[in-house]
Chains A and B, each alone.
Chain A
Amino acid sequence: GQQLNQSPQSMFIQEGEDVSMNCTSSSIFNTWLWYKQDPGEGPVLLIALYKAGELTSNGRLTAQFGITRKDSFLNISASIPSDVGIYFCAGPLSGNTGKLIFGQGTTLQVKP
Chain B
Amino acid sequence: DTAVSQTPKYLVTQMGNDKSIKCEQNLGHDTMYWYKQDSKKFLKIMFSYNNKELIINETVPNRFSPKSPDKAHLNLHINSLELGDSAVYFCASSQAVRRLYEQYFGPGTRLTVT
Docked Cα-Cα span, A35 to B102, in Å, equals 10
* Docked-complex contact A43 and B105, CB < 8 angstroms: yes
* Docked-complex contact B101 and A31, CB < 8 angstroms: yes
Secondary structure call for the B interface: strand
* Docked-complex contact B101 and A98, CB < 8 angstroms: yes
Interchain pairs with CB closer than 8 A, number: 59
* Docked-complex contact A98 and B41, CB < 8 angstroms: no
Those of B18-45 within 8 Å (CB) of chain A = 31, 33, 40-45
How many chain B residues touch A (CB < 8 A): the figure is 26
Those of A87-107 within 8 Å (CB) of chain B = 88, 90, 92, 96-100, 102, 104-105
CB distance from A94 to the nearest CB of B (A): 12
* Docked-complex contact A105 and B31, CB < 8 angstroms: no
At the interface, yes or no: A61 with Cβ under 8 Å from chain B?
no
* Docked-complex contact B43 and A98, CB < 8 angstroms: no
* Docked-complex contact A97 and B103, CB < 8 angstroms: no
* Docked-complex contact B105 and A42, CB < 8 angstroms: yes
CB 8 Å contact bits of B64-96 with A (1 = contact, 0 = none): 000000000000000000000000001010101
* Docked-complex contact A98 and B100, CB < 8 angstroms: yes
CB-CB under 8 A from B4, the residues of chain A are 42
| A-binding residues in B (CB < 8 A) | 4, 31, 33, 40-45, 48, 50, 55-56, 90, 92, 94, 96, 100-108
- Give 9 closest A-B pairs by Cβ, nearest first: A42-B105, A102-B43, A98-B100, A43-B105, A92-B101, A42-B108, A42-B107, A98-B48, A42-B90
| B-binding residues in A (CB < 8 A) | 31, 33, 35, 37, 40-45, 48, 86, 88, 90, 92, 96-100, 102, 104-105
